[in-house]
C-alpha cells in the first residue's frame, strides 16, 4: 500500500495527490475507523437527541435493536414512543409517517429491505413525493425512508433488487446512496434535517465495513450537501461513476487499471436524485471516456440517465461510446456462482474501462 | 342517553345490557321504526340482510341511539337534539354542499371544469353531522369525493371553486384539482385519489396529536382526526392495517365509512364477504357503530360520542354511515347499473328535506328563514363561480414551484450553484 503511494507522489502534480496524501496522513495519525453501521447509528442518535420531533418507526427497530442492528441502543435511550416497533404493515406505517410529517414531526421510516417498500410505494410516491406539489406548498413532508437496498449474499430474487432507478425517476423525492461511513453519517443527517421526502438507500453488505473518519465527520453538526457527488479518486484517462457498494468495486478496479497504465477517475455519486450532472460532465470533459457502474437492472437504470445526460451536454467531448455496467437483466439467482455473474464484479469494470480506452479485451466473463 | 354511551358499555358487548326500553324486541332489525326500511335496496337483497342482522346484533349502542330518539319524540314536551342556531348551521352547511355540487355539475358540462369530478349529492348529512362538531385544529382526511368535506371544514367556496377551475387562486393554486383539496389553515389533509390512501395519513395525523401530547409535552393537545372513506375501501388492506394500529396505540381518530352501497358500478354486496362493515371494528378492539347516514341528527349524535371518545384518549371508533349518492360515481359515469327504484327510495329520504321538516315541525325555524338561507347560499355559490371565472390561470413560472419545500432538490447546475438559485428558475425559462 505504501509503495503504491510513493510511486504516485513522484510523478504527479499537487492537487491530484491530495486525496492519496490525506489517506496517508490519516493512517499515520491513526484516524478513527468507523463501520457504516456505527456511523448510521450515531447519526440517528445525534439527530434524535437534537430534535424531539425526530422518531424512528419500522419493523424490529426497537427491542430487536434493528434488523441489522442499525438502531442499536436507541430504544433504551429514547423510549418506545420515539423508537416504534410496528406490525408488519408497510403501507400502513409508511402512510402514518407521511401523515405525521404533514404535522411537522420528522419520521424516519425503516424498511427492513427496500424490496418491502413496494408494499408502501403508493405512500412514498403518491403521498410523500407529490403532496407538497398538490397542496401548493401547504403540506411539506419531512420524512426519511431508509433501509438496505440492492443485493446481499444469497438472499434470492425477492430480496435483492436495487430501487435507485425507480425512486430516482420520481419528482418530489430526493434519493441518496451513501458508500462510506462519512457518506452515511453526513447524508443521513442531511436527510433527516431536509424538509422533503428522502429515500435513503443503504447496502447490507456495507454495514460491517470500516472506513476512516476524520474529526470533522465525527462532529455532531457534520452534514453533507444533497446533490453533490464526490470524486473519490482523481484520474485522467477514464471516468467511472458508481454509487453505494459499487464504489468500492470501482476503486479496486482503478487500482488494477493503474498497473496497465490507465488512470481512472472514480466518482461516488452519493445523490441519485438530484443527480450531480455538472460534476459528471466536468469529469467526462476532462477524461473523454465514461463507464457507469450500478447494481440494478440495466434498462431505464441510473447508468442510462447518466449516459443521456452526458450525450446531451458533453457529446463532443466523448472519444468512445459510454460503457454501461449494470446487474444482469434477470431476477437474482440463488446459486452462488450465478449470483456472482448477475452482479457487477471488479473484473467487469476493468474490462469495460479497457474497452472504453480501446484496449482489446475478451468480452464475456467465465462462469 | 348517557347510559348507553358510557365508556364501559361502548366497547364490544353484543347486546345492550342495561337498556330498559322494550322497543328493541319489537323490531327485528337493529334499528327502530324510522330507519328500518333503508338498510338494503332491492327486496331480494333486503331479505338476506334481514336474516343476517337478526343473527348478529352487535352494535347495541345504535339501538340505543334510535330508541332514545324515538323515546324523545314520544314524550309530550320533547327535548330537542339541537338548538335553533345549531339547526340553522346544519341546514346552511348541507344546502351549501348541495348547491355547490349542483353548480359543479353545471360548470363541468359547460367545460369550465375538467378531468375527474366526484359529487357528493345525497351524502351531506355525514359531512355536516361530523365536521360541524370539530374545532379548527382537528383534522379531516378525505377521498376524491372531497368538495363538501372541504366546505364543511371551512375552506371558502371561492377557494374550492377556483381550484376546480384550475385557477391560481384555488386552495392549492390550481395544482391539486378536484381530487386533491388541501388546506393547512383548516387542517384539511386532502383529497386522495387512491382509495385507502387517506386512512394511514389520517392515522398519522392522529399519531402526531398523541405524540405531541406525550412526547413533546404539549399538554393541551387533544386534536382529533376524522378519516372519511367509502364501502369499497373497507376491503382494502390499508384499512385493516390502520384499524389495527389505531387500536393498538389508542389513537384519537374516528374512521367514518360513507357506505353508499356502490363503488362505481360494483355493488357493495357483490364485493364484500360480510357487508356489515361496522362489525370489523370490534375485531380490532374498537367499537363499531352503524348509523343512518341520511339523517343528520342521528349522525351528529353518534359523532359527538365518537369524537368525545377520541378526545378523551379512549381510542378509535369505526362508524358506518349508511348513505347514498344521488348522482353517479363521477360526472363521467353514466350510472346505468343502479336500480331506479333504489334511487327513488333514497331520494325520498333526502337529508336536507328531512332536516327542513324537523326544523319546521319543532318550530325551530320558519319556512321563510330557511328560504332566506337557500337564497344566501345561491348567492355564495354564484359569487364563487364569478370569482373563479375572473381569476387568472397559473403563470408559467408556477410550473416548477412547490416540488420541494427546500428547492435545492433540483440539484447543482453547471455553474456549481444550486439550480433554484438561478434567477430565471421561477420564470420557467431556466434549463433543468
A249-290, pLDDT tens digit by residue? 999 999 999 999 999 999 999 999 999 999 999 999 999 999
List the B317-322 sheet strands across, edge first: B139-141, B225-230, B253-259, B317-322, B288-292
Using 50, 70 and 90 to split pLDDT, how confident is the model at B409? Answer: confident
* Percentage of chain B modeled with pLDDT above 90: 62
pLDDT of residue A365: 58
pLDDT of residue B336: 84
Which of these, B419, B297, B275, lies nearest to B354 by C-alpha position? B297
Q: How many CB atoms lie within 10 A of CB B424?
A: 11
| B58-100 pLDDT, tens digit each | 444 443 444 444 444 444 556 788 899 999 999 999 999 999 9
Using 50, 70 and 90 to split pLDDT, how confident is the model at B334? Answer: confident
Cα gap B358→B86, rounded to integer Å? 13
C-alpha grid cell, residue B10: 361502548
pLDDT of residue B264: 85
Using 50, 70 and 90 to split pLDDT, how confident is the model at B427? Answer: low
What 3-state DSSP class applies to A271?
Answer: strand
Angle, alpha carbons B253-B322-B363 (nearest 5°): 95
Using 50, 70 and 90 to split pLDDT, how confident is the model at A11? Answer: very low
- Hey, what's the torsion of the CAs at B198, B199, B204, B208, to 10 degrees? 100
Contact A293, A117 (CB under 8 A): no
**Element housing B225 (H / E):** strand B225-230
Closest residue in A to B182 (Cα) is A135
Asked whether residue B274 carries a pLDDT value surpassing 60, the answer given is yes
- Say whether A100 and B205 touch across the interface (CB within 8 A): yes
Distance of CA B218 to the CA centre of its chain: 28
Asked whether residue B30 carries a pLDDT value surpassing 60, the answer given is no
B189 touching chain A per CB within 8 A: yes
| A181-191 pLDDT, tens digit each | 999 999 999 99
Using 50, 70 and 90 to split pLDDT, how confident is the model at B37? Answer: very low
Asked whether residue B268 carries a pLDDT value surpassing 60, the answer given is yes
Mean pLDDT calculated for residue range B15-39: 37
**Contacts of residue A52 in chain B, CB cutoff 8 Å?**
215-216
pLDDT of residue A22: 42
Contact A198, B382 (CB under 8 A): no
C-alpha grid cell, residue A344: 457487477
Residue whose cell numbers read 436507541: A74
Strand segments, DSSP code E, in chain A are 32-35, 54-58, 83-85, 106-110, 144-148, 174-176, 198-202, 210-213, 230-233, 238-242, 264-268, 271-273, 290-293, 323-325
Closest residue in A to B238 (Cα) is A92
Cα gap A229→B318, rounded to integer Å? 50
Which of these, A144, A176, A139, lies nearest to A48 by C-alpha position? A144
A158 touching chain B per CB within 8 A: no
pLDDT of residue B122: 95
pLDDT of residue B401: 84
pLDDT of residue B382: 97
pLDDT of residue B426: 66
Task: Give the contacts of B124 (CB within 8 A, at least 6 positions apart).
Answer: B93, B94, B97, B98, B148, B296, B351, B352
Indicate if the alpha-carbon torsion angle B115, B116, B121, B124 is positive or negative. negative
Q: How many CB atoms lie within 10 A of CB B337?
A: 12
| A109-121 pLDDT, tens digit each | 999 999 999 999 9
Asked whether residue B134 carries a pLDDT value surpassing 60, the answer given is yes
Angle, alpha carbons A134-A137-A139 (nearest 5°): 80
- Considering CB atoms only, which of B184, B201, B248 is closest to A98? B201
DSSP H helices in B132-231? 147-153, 157-165, 198-214
Closest residue in B to A198 (Cα) is B409
**Contacts of residue B204 in chain A, CB cutoff 8 Å?**
95-103
Residue whose cell numbers read 510513493: A6
pLDDT of residue B398: 84
- Considering CB atoms only, which of B182, B204, B418 is closest to A138? B182
Using 50, 70 and 90 to split pLDDT, how confident is the model at B428? Answer: low
Which of these, B264, B259, B268, B251, lies nearest to B294 by C-alpha position? B259
Which of these, A153, A192, A168, lies nearest to A40 by C-alpha position? A192
pLDDT of residue B42: 38
Cα gap A18→A8, rounded to integer Å? 11
Which of these, A197, A140, A95, A144, lies nearest to B184 by C-alpha position? A140
| A128-166 pLDDT, tens digit each | 999 999 999 999 999 999 999 999 888 888 999 999 999
| A69-90 pLDDT, tens digit each | 999 999 999 999 999 999 989 9
Half-sphere exposure of A90 (CA within 13 A, CB side): 18
Strand segments, DSSP code E, in B22-180 are 139-141
Concatenating the DSSP letter of every residue in A145-158 gives EEEE-S--SS--GG
pTM of the complete model: 0.79
B183 touching chain A per CB within 8 A: yes
pLDDT of residue B191: 87
- Say whether A226 and B408 touch across the interface (CB within 8 A): yes
- Say whether B238 and A95 touch across the interface (CB within 8 A): yes
* Percentage of chain A modeled with pLDDT above 90: 83
Using 50, 70 and 90 to split pLDDT, how confident is the model at B31? Answer: very low
Q: Which residues of A are catalytic?
A: 90, 159
Task: Determine which of A5-9, B181-185, B384-388 has the lowest per-residue pLDDT on average.
Answer: A5-9
Asked whether residue B25 carries a pLDDT value surpassing 50, the answer given is no
pLDDT of residue B78: 60
Using 50, 70 and 90 to split pLDDT, how confident is the model at B187? Answer: very high
Mean pLDDT calculated for residue range B179-199: 92
Asked whether residue A299 carries a pLDDT value surpassing 60, the answer given is yes
Amino acid at each position: 500500500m505504501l509503495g503504491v503511494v510513493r510511486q504516485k507522489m513522484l510523478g504527479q502534480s499537487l492537487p491530484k495527490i491530495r486525496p492519496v496524501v490525506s489517506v496517508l496522513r490519516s493512517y499515520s495519525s491513526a484516524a478513527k475507523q468507523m463501520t457504516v453501521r456505527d456511523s448510521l447509528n450515531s447519526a440517528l442518535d445525534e439527530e434524535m437527541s437534537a430534535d424531539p420531533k425526530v422518531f424512528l418507526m419500522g419493523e424490529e427497530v426497537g427491542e430487536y435493536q434493528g434488523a441489522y442492528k442499525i438502531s442499536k441502543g436507541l430504544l433504551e435511550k429514547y423510549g418506545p414512543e420515539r423508537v416504534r416497533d410496528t406490525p408488519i404493515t408497510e403501507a400502513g406505517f409508511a402512510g402514518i409517517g407521511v401523515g405525521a410529517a404533514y404535522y411537522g414531526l420528522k419520521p424516519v421510516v425503516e424498511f427492513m429491505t427496500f424490496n418491502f417498500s413496494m408494499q408502501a410505494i403508493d405512500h412514498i410516491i403518491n403521498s410523500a413525493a407529490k403532496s407538497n406539489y398538490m397542496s401548493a406548498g401547504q403540506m411539506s413532508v419531512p420524512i426519511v425512508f431508509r433501509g438496505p437496498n440492492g443485493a446481499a449474499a444469497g438472499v434470492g430474487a425477492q430480496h435483492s433488487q436495487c430501487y435507485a432507478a425507480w425512486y430516482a425517476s420520481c419528482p418530489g423525492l430526493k434519493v441518496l446512496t451513501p458508500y462510506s461511513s462519512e457518506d452515511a453519517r453526513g447524508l443521513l443527517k442531511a436527510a433527516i434535517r431536509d424538509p422533503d421526502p428522502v429515500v435513503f438507500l443503504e447496502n447490507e453488505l456495507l454495514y460491517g465495513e470500516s472506513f476512516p473518519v476524520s474529526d470533522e465527520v465525527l462532529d455532531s453538526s457534520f452534514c453533507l450537501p444533497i446533490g453533490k457527488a464526490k470524486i473519490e479518486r482523481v484520474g485522467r484517462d477514464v471516468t467511472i461513476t458508481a454509487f453505494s457498494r459499487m464504489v468500492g468495486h470501482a476503486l479496486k478496479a482503478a487500482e488494477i487499471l493503474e498497473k496497465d497504465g490507465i488512470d481512472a477517475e472514480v466518482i461516488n455519486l452519493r445523490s441519485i436524485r438530484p443527480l450531480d450532472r455538472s460534476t459528471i460532465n466536468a469529469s467526462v470533459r476532462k477524461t473523454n471516456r465514461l463507464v457507469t457502474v450500478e447494481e440494478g437492472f440495466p434498462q431505464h437504470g441510473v447508468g442510462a440517465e447518466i449516459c443521456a445526460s452526458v450525450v446531451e451536454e458533453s457529446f463532443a467531448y466523448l472519444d468512445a461510446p459510454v460503457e454501461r455496467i449494470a446487474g444482469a437483466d434477470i431476477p437474482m439467482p440463488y446459486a452462488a456462482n450465478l449470483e456472482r455473474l448477475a452482479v457487477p464484479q471488479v473484473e467487469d469494470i476493468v474490462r469495460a474501462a479497457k474497452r472504453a480506452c480501446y484496449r482489446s479485451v475478451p468480452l464475456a466473463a467465465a462462469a | 342517553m348517557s347510559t348507553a354511551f358510557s365508556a364501559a358499555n361502548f366497547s364490544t358487548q353484543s347486546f345492550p345490557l342495561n337498556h330498559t326500553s322494550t322497543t328493541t324486541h319489537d323490531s327485528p332489525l337493529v334499528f327502530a321504526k324510522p330507519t328500518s326500511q333503508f338498510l338494503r335496496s332491492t327486496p331480494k337483497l333486503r331479505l338476506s340482510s334481514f336474516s343476517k342482522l337478526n343473527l348478529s346484533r352487535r352494535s347495541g349502542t345504535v339501538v340505543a341511539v334510535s330508541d332514545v330518539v324515538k323515546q324523545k319524540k314520544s314524550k309530550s314536551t320533547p327535548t330537542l337534539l339541537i338548538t335553533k342556531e345549531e339547526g340553522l348551521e346544519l341546514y346552511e352547511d348541507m344546502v351549501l354542499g348541495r348547491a355547490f355540487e349542483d353548480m359543479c355539475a353545471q360548470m363541468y358540462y359547460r367545460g369550465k371544469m375538467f378531468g375527474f369530478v366526484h359529487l357528493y349529492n345525497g351524502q351531506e348529512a355525514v359531512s355536516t353531522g361530523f365536521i360541524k362538531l370539530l374545532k379548527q385544529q382537528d383534522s379531516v382526511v378525505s377521498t376524491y369525493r372531497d368538495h363538501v368535506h372541504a366546505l364543511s371544514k371551512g375552506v371558502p367556496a371561492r377557494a374550492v371553486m377556483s381550484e376546480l377551475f384550475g385557477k391560481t387562486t384555488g386552495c392549492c393554486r390550481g395544482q391539486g384539482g378536484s381530487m386533491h383539496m388541501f388546506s393547512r389553515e383548516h387542517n384539511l389533509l386532502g383529497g386522495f385519489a387512491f382509495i385507502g390512501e387517506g386512512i394511514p395519513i389520517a392515522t398519522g395525523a392522529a399519531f402526531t396529536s398523541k405524540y405531541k401530547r406525550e412526547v413533546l409535552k404539549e399538554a393541551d393537545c387533544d386534536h382529533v382526526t376524522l378519516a372519511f372513506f367509502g364501502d369499497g375501501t373497507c376491503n382494502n388492506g390499508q384499512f385493516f392495517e390502520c384499524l389495527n394500529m389505531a387500536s393498538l396505540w389508542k389513537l384519537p381518530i374516528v374512521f367514518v365509512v360513507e357506505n353508499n352501497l356502490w363503488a362505481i358500478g360494483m355493488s357493495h354486496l357483490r364485493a364484500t364477504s360480510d357487508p356489515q362493515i361496522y362489525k370489523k371494528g370490534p375485531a380490532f378492539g374498537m367499537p363499531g357503530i352503524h348509523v343512518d347516514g341520511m339523517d343528520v341528527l342521528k349522525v351528529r349524535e353518534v359523532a359527538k360520542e365518537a369524537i368525545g371518545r377520541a378526545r378523551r384518549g379512549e381510542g378509535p371508533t369505526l362508524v358506518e354511515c349508511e348513505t347514498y349518492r344521488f348522482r353517479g360515481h363521477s360526472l363521467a359515469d353514466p350510472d346505468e347499473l343502479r336500480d331506479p327504484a333504489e334511487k327513488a327510495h333514497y331520494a325520498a329520504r333526502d337529508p336536507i328535506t328531512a332536516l327542513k321538516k324537523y326544523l319546521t315541525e319543532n318550530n325551530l325555524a320558519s319556512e321563510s328563514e330557511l328560504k332566506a338561507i337557500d337564497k344566501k347560499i345561491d348567492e355564495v355559490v354564484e359569487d364563487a363561480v364569478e370569482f373563479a371565472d375572473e381569476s387568472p390561470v397559473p403563470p408559467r413560472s408556477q410550473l416548477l414551484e412547490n416540488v420541494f419545500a427546500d428547492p435545492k432538490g433540483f440539484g447543482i447546475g453547471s455553474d456549481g450553484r444550486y439550480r433554484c438559485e438561478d434567477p430565471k428558475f421561477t420564470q420557467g425559462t431556466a434549463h433543468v
